[in-house]
Each structure stands twice: as C-alpha cells, then as structure tokens.
Chain A
Amino acid sequence: MTEHKAEMIVPEGWGFVETVDRRDFLKLTSSGLLVMFSLTPPKGALRPVWNPAGIQRPSPDFNAFVHVGADGRVTMMVGKIEMGQGVMTSLPQLAAEELGVSLENVDVVLGDTELCPFDMGTFGSLSVRTLGPVLRAAAAEARAVLVQMASEKLGIPVAELFVENGVVRAKADRLKHVPYGDLTAGKRIERRLEGKAALAAVANFKIVGTSPQRRDAIDKVTGRAKYAGDVIPPGALHARLVRPPAHGVALLTVDTKAAEAVPGVRVVREGELIAVLHEHRDEADKALKLVNATYSPAPSVLDGETIFAHLEKVAPEGRAVAQAGSIDDGEKFATQTVTQKYLKGYVAHAPMETHSAVAAVAPDGKVTVWASTQTPFPLQTQVARALKISTDKVRIITPFVGGGFGGKSASQQAIEAARLAVAAGAPVRVVWDRTEEFFFDTFDPAAVITIRAGLDASKRIVSWNYEVIGAGERGSQQFYDVANHRTVVRGGWNANQNEMHPFGIGPWRAPGANANTFAREVHIDILAQKAGMDPVAFRELNLAKNPRMLRVLRAAADKFGWQGKLAPSKRGFGVALGDDAGTYVASIAHVAVDAATGAVQVLRVVCAQDMGVVVNPVGAMQQLEGCITMGLGYTLAEEVRFKNGVVLDKNFPTYHIPRFSWVPKIEGVLLDSPDLPAQGGGEPAIVTMGAAVANAVFDAVGARVVQLPLTAARVKAAMV
C-alpha cells in the first residue's frame, strides 16, 4: 500500500472552493449559520426515473445546504455537477439573490458526496428547474434567520429592516446596520427544514436574470480546470483493461505473460477485470497490446438494418400514457387519414472527455474516487456495493465533467478504478480510450414510431393514434387540439426490456424526446401538406387551445420572417414544435440540399423558447446554441454502426459529430415569462432539430425522409 496522507489526495489548484477538505468543511460549518433544506417533490411533478444504483430514496430528492460564515461569506453545497451547463454560475445566482449578498460572496461546492447533501444526479434539465426553488428556499430561510437576529441586536422590528449586500439595515436610518458576519460570528446555528418551497414573486430580481462571467472561464482557458483524468495522486498507475471484441461474449483464454515482462508493468486480475497497470498511459497502452485473449462467439446477429424488425417483434406490451375520446369515433369525422412509420438509429453520447476516474484507498480503508459522473451519489452506493464496504467509507468527488449529455449517468469506469485500486494497493486511473467509450456507451436507443392521424374537412386533426417502440415516453404526447387521441409506449431508454437492444442504452440529452418530436412534427407536416396549408398556418389552426405554444410558434415565425407557402416551396424552410422539461420551443430551419448527392447543409436556424423566468440569459442562450449544434449530429449523420454485437464505429474518423463547417447561423429568442418559474434549458431546443430540418428538406426538394439521420443517401433516395 502506498503511504498516503489524507490531504495528499486533494490536488493543488482544486477547482471549486478552497474548503473541499473534510476537516476544513467541519471547521467551516462549526460556526455560523447552516440551513439544510429538503424537498420531496409533489405528486405528479416530473421526477427523475434514471436510477442506476436502484437507490430506495434514502432522503428527499432535492436538497441544498446554505452556510453563512463568520466572515459573512456564503457557501452553498448541492450534489449537482458542472458539465458545461453552467450551474456553477446559475445556482449561486439564485442563492445570492435570496440572501441579498453579492454573487462574489457565494462559494459553491458541487458533486462531493462528503460535503453535499444527497442528490439523485444531474440530468433532465432539473438543476435550475427543480433544485432552484429548494436552493432559493434554503437561502431565503437563512436570510429570515439573519434578519431576525439583526432585529434583536438592533432593537428594530423585522418589518423595518432590509438587506443590502450582506448588511441588514434599518429602513428609517441606513446607518443603523449590522453585517451578516457580525451576526454569525462565534455562534453555531443549524436549521433543518423539510417541505415546500414557498417563495416570493420574482419582480425585484437583481442578480437572477443577469449574465455574470462564468465562474469556470479563467480555469478553462488556462488549462487549470481539473477533470477526473487530471487528478494524479502520488504513486498512481494507469489501468488499461482487457476488453471483449463484441457484446455478449465470454472470455475463454487469456495470456498476459508478454505484458508482465515489460519493465514497470503490473497485471492485476480482480474478478472478471484484467488490467495492465503502468505509471505512464502510453506504456500501459503498449503493454495491453501484448495481451492475448480469446472469446466465445457473439450471440447477437443484429445489425443496423435488421434492428427495427427485431424491436417491433420483442418490445414489451404497450402502455397508454395519454388518451382521450375514441380513435374510432375520431376517424368517423376524418376525410383523410395518414399512416406513417418513422425510424431512428442508435446515437452515441461521444463527450470529448471519455469516462474517467481515479481511485485511491487511504490507510483506514476509506476509498476516494474522483469521477467524471453525472450521478455521484448513486455511484457512491455502487462503489460501496462493489467493494462490499459501507457507503460512508466511499467518497465520490466530481471535478469538472468534460461533457455528459446523459452518458455519464452510468459510471462503470469509476467502479473499475475503485476495484482495481483496492486490488493493486495503489491509486488507479481509469481513462477509457475512445473505442471503449463507443463500446460501453449507453446509446440513445433505436426507435420505431407509427402514427395514424385523421383530418376533417375543416383541416383539423380529429384523431391521433401514436405508438412508440424503443424511445420511451418523453416527448411522446402531442399538444395539438385533438379530441380523440391515444399514445402508447413500448419500452424505453431507461431499461433494456426483453433484450431489445444488443448493447447498453440510456438517457441521451432529452431522452426519447428527439425521436418522438421528429416523428410527431414530420407527421404534422405531412398533414399540413394533405390539408393544402402552409406548415405554420396549419399548426396555428390546430393549436387554438394552446396559447403558450402558439406564442412560441409566432415568435419563431416573426424572427424568421416566415411567409406562408405550401410545401415543397423549393425555399428549404421547415418548422417544428416541442415541449420538453417544462419549456416550449419552436424552431425554423433553412436548408440547402445538393440535388446531385442529397447532402444537406443547414444554413440558418431560428429557435424561440418559453422557459419561464430566465436565470442567466447568456447561459440559457449558450445551451440553446449547443442544442441546435449538437442536434445537427443526430439529424444529419449520427447513427452507430454495429453487427453481431460488434460496435463498428470505434472512433471519430467514422462516427461523425458536428464540425465547424456544419454550423448554421443560429438565432435564439428567449420569451419573457415572468409569471412562470424557471424551466429546463439544457435540453428542450435539441428536440426540434430533427423535424425542423427534415421538414425543410421536404420543402427544398420534395424528399420526405422518415428515418433519422437524414443521410445524403436517404435524402437522395427519397427524391423523386
């Protein structure tokens, strides 16, 4: 065992606050005011359904700690992680606002299981939407306690006091004042609250609604920002694992002698894990190539062509997630019906940072894992189970995460690092190479969606019969004025039921909603064409009872300069609507299609979003732009190729993600909605990309492509 002091495992230049060491934390919270707020979301509210560790809800789902120190500094601790979405900046904005302190006075600790309260994970655009109110409530409670203390100290009633930059002052006489720090100095006050977050109106926000410089900016442009793979405890060894060539195969023989003969190399076997260890990554890579392993044949005979029939055959029974009226009755009013099947392949997350983790075991047996993960608390449980130790013996620290998009909800690499660190008696670094990343990724599942819809003589949709296989429920429910509808979901991204998929699947940015929105909005476009109406006017006609969606559609159409014409107008304009994570979104795309090859270039995208109160407008716009740009990938090119359990795409040369030359002019419109609390922003805009572009392709060249991605070959084939 490498000798190893507790403070050695905290690297220098640590990203978030200086108080990450447990002892510093205890010192920090040994005085001052600590407010712990927990919220169990009300029944019916959207709840996270991804639960990799199968945790039996050990505590309420949404928790925040807010501490006001003797120096008046505020430290907030939440279990979320920063993967680029900007919560490191937006969440402190909420706390600063409620406490009446400047943003610079708020430190933040994220994703550390020892310092932060329980959190299920960072996904579903929930951080601001659902944790935001909890954090605000904790901060508001802290402020109420402090103002009460100030009232006692100054002898002035609470109602006659106000807070300004962390100082409580008398309204009648500004000079009668006391700073927060003077109130908390030498005291230890703890408040533990559970319940509903009841909060004041948002009319007077000063910090929320602004766009301060991102807190991670300087660290990220200077190379100082630490990711899990950058944490190098003394004596740490890289581990490169022996991996199978295909899913579903069993190891038959393995010969590691040649690798073991390399100076500096150790080979460690821990259960089914076989790893080559070396201080230097490239030398571990070389030694791994010397390992000879043989495997049983792969059981799967599926590939990217046969998968869809397989899904239809083995998918579990459907469950109706929405229905009203009767499809049969609706179809009686229909003058025409349109039935169409839509397909979508598997899509990889492909974050630029591969799954990475470093694990170190202290002399007392305590295991610390620095992991690129979206789910530090579920991971803590998983590591403890794998090591057969109690969870309090495991600490997960989440440094900056180099992109997640749902793919780091699963954190196999961290469990591997922990097991190997225990087995090797040395800190172990597991940084997947790109081929491992593609192989073990939990893909966005392939999907088959069938829609049958009826139109009446007045061009209104009178029936809507929808079945989705594979993608799941999110985004499956239509929001048009349809009296007779039924939406059936068979299987989903959150579980590989009936072995539908020959490899892992899981949440991918707005899971399920990309496939569902594509199918619905292309189908609406086909109906518009059958109705002889332009696609915006047809949607307006069928959205009379949905003013919020109408407003978003009109905002996008205005910004775009939409002029109604029947498609295909040869202009290359396409529209799509979506609702996701509480946010309503409308996108209009302008595309050019190369008639000779079918290649699509997206020239311009206008995206309007009603996301409630906008906490950080620039941050929200960054997320919107990111959604549009990332959405180009699943729309135009991304489709994981596989055959007989082998993932054929092993690296970027064959799996194409969006590049600079693909990127259109992006114009975002964030609607002002002060009466609606902050909704999700990290995902909604991506859901509309597939259909907006597909509909624009139809408008350009009359090619109705009903399978994602819209590869040049598919567009060419659909051109008549």
Chain B
Amino acid sequence: MRSISITVNGVPHSLTVADDRRLLWVLRDDLGLTGTKFGCGVSSCGACTVIVDGKAVRSCVTSIKAVEGKKITTIEGLANGSHLAPAQQGFVDHLGFQCGYCTPGMIMGGHALLLQNPKPTRDEIAKGMEGHLCRCGAHVRIIDAIEQASHAPASGGAK
C-alpha cells in the first residue's frame, strides 16, 4: 500500500491503496461514486466505462497505478451543475435507456467517441459503440442520442 494521487471529476484525491486495486472498485467502494457500474469484470460489456485524460477506459480492468496522476471523469462529473452534457441530454431526449444500468457507460463511451470524432456518421457511432452491451435493446435510440449530441455545441463535461 502506498499513497496514490488521482483527480476525479476535478477533485484531487490522495488514496492509500495497493497498486493493483481496480479503478472501478476504488471509485465505487472507496470514493462512493456508484454511477460507474460493474457488468462483466473482463472489459467486455462497457458498463464501467470512465474517461481518463480524454479517452474511454474500462475501469474494471484498469489498475489504480495505471491512472496515477491522471484526470478521471465519471458519469457524476459529466454535467455542469444541472446543465446536462450533450450526450446526457441526447439520452434524455431520445430515451436512450430502459433499465438504465448500461447507461452511464454508454454515455461515457459516447462522450469519448465525440471527443475523438466530433461529427461521426450513424455507422461510425454504431461501430464506435460496438463494444458496449445493452440487454434492454435501446440500441437505435442510443445511436439517435449520440447523433443529437454530435450536433450540439460542446459544453461542460470532460475534455
């Protein structure tokens, strides 16, 4: 165990943890940020997706050591106060969710996709989100949501 510093949603944290702790469980169990979900534990469903220095990362297989000194954004940090980020607003407007469990990971994945490719086609969105699983079958609406977000002026949220 040693002291590791990370910044989560703009807030610096100094944690005394073992190097091999998983980012997902540090977020959920140590920091109480339960918006990031556990789905498979082997990076094959996307429910645990967070953004680390502008890129989507599967937190269930990411060690805390790997994100030392980095800036992490979780679903709780995406909105600017009550002003939703475009990806979040897209999911509300198009009902890109049913049970909502994959939703935080979907939104973080979609948000990260737009950081990389601000004006994706629908095909590019589908390809970019292929590694995210949704069991309720909200897929078409999720693509609609991310497409709408791509038309919104960038505001708030993770960079």
Contacts and interface: CB of A to CB of B under 8 A. Distances in A.
A658 B137 CA distance: 8
B86 to A, nearest CB: 11
A629 B135 CA distance: 9
Contacts of A222: 35, 75-76, 78-79, 84, 88
B14 interface: no
B135 A221 contact: no
Interface stretch (A115-123, A395-403, A525-533, A560-568): A395-403
* Residue of A220, A227, A400, A666 with most partner-chain B CB within 10 A: A220
Contacts of A226: 34
* Residue of A221, A223, A282, A401 with most partner-chain B CB within 10 A: A221
A283 B100 contact: no
B2 interface: no
Given A651-B40, A660-B129, A84 B34 contact: no
Interface string A186-227: 000000000000000000000000000110111111111111
B61 to A, nearest CB: 11
A4 interface: no
B25 A280 contact: yes
Contacts of B37: 227, 352-353, 402
A434 B41 contact: yes
B21 interface: yes
Interface string A381-425: 000000000000000000011111100000000000000000000
A354 interface: yes
Contacts of A223: 33-36, 74-76, 104
Given A220-B103, A403-B101, A232 B21 contact: no
Contacts of B126: 660-661, 663
A281 B28 contact: yes
Given A282-B25, A652-B40, A352 B74 contact: no
A252 B139 CA distance: 46
Given A280-B21, A352-B37, A657-B133, A221 B76 contact: no
Given A225-B100, A282-B25, A658 B139 contact: yes
Interface string B96-138: 0111111110010000000000000000011101101111111
A174 to B, nearest CB: 37
Contacts of B45: 352, 652
A660 B138 contact: no
A84 B21 contact: no
A663 B141 CA distance: 11
B137 A281 contact: no
A625 interface: yes
B92 interface: yes
Nearest to B125: A660
Contacts of B142: 660
A587 to B, nearest CB: 14
A282 B100 contact: no
Interface string B22-33: 101100111011
Contacts of A224: 35, 76
A260 interface: no
A227 B101 contact: yes
Contacts of B158: none
Contacts of A230: 28, 34
A434 B40 contact: yes
Nearest to B84: A221
A401 B99 contact: yes
Contact of B137 (A218, A227, A626): A626
A570 to B, nearest CB: 26
Contact of A221 (B30, B107, B129, B140): B107
A530 to B, nearest CB: 35
Nearest to A664: B140
Given A280-B29, A405-B135, A652-B45, A622 B98 contact: yes
Interface in A650-677: 651-653, 657-661, 663, 666
Nearest to B77: A223
A282 B42 CA distance: 13
A345 to B, nearest CB: 18
Nearest to A281: B25
Contacts of A652: 40, 42, 44-45, 133
B47 interface: yes
A344 to B, nearest CB: 19
B103 A651 contact: no
A627 interface: yes
Given A226-B34, A282-B25, A659-B130, A626 B42 contact: no
A227 B38 CA distance: 11
Contact of B39 (A280, A352, A629, A663): A352
A84 B100 contact: yes
Contacts of B97: 84, 217, 220-221
A588 to B, nearest CB: 17
A280 B75 CA distance: 21
B77 to A, nearest CB: 9
B143 interface: yes
B33 to A, nearest CB: 8
Contact of B100 (A400, A404, A405, A431): A400
A86 interface: yes
B38 A431 contact: yes
B42 A403 contact: no
B84 A663 contact: no
Nearest to B79: A222
B95 interface: yes
Contacts of B39: 352-354, 434
Contact of B38 (A213, A219, A354, A630): A354
B22 A86 contact: no
A280 B29 CA distance: 6
Interface in A219-256: 219-227, 229-230, 232, 238
B133 A666 contact: no
A379 interface: no
A350 interface: yes
Contacts of A519: none
A221 B87 CA distance: 9
Contacts of A351: 99, 101, 135
A347 interface: no
Contact of A651 (B42, B88, B138): B42
Interface in A585-636: 618, 622, 625-630
Contacts of B139: 629, 658-660, 663
A666 B140 contact: yes
A652 B44 CA distance: 6
Interface of B: 18, 21-22, 24-25, 28-30, 32-42, 44-45, 47, 74-76, 78-79, 84, 88, 91-92, 95, 97-104, 107, 125-127, 129-130, 132-143
Kindly list the 4 A-B residue pairs having the minimum CB-CB distance in the complex, ordered from nearest. Answer: A223-B35, A629-B137, A402-B101, A84-B99
11 contacts: A84-B98, A217-B91, A221-B88, A224-B35, A226-B34, A283-B25, A626-B137, A627-B137, A660-B130, A660-B139, A666-B140
Given A86-B98, A219-B100, 20 more contacts: A217-B97, A218-B84, A221-B92, A282-B21, A282-B25, A283-B25, A352-B37, A353-B99, A402-B101, A434-B40, A622-B138, A627-B137, A629-B139, A653-B42, A658-B139, A659-B130, A660-B125, A660-B126, A660-B127, A661-B126
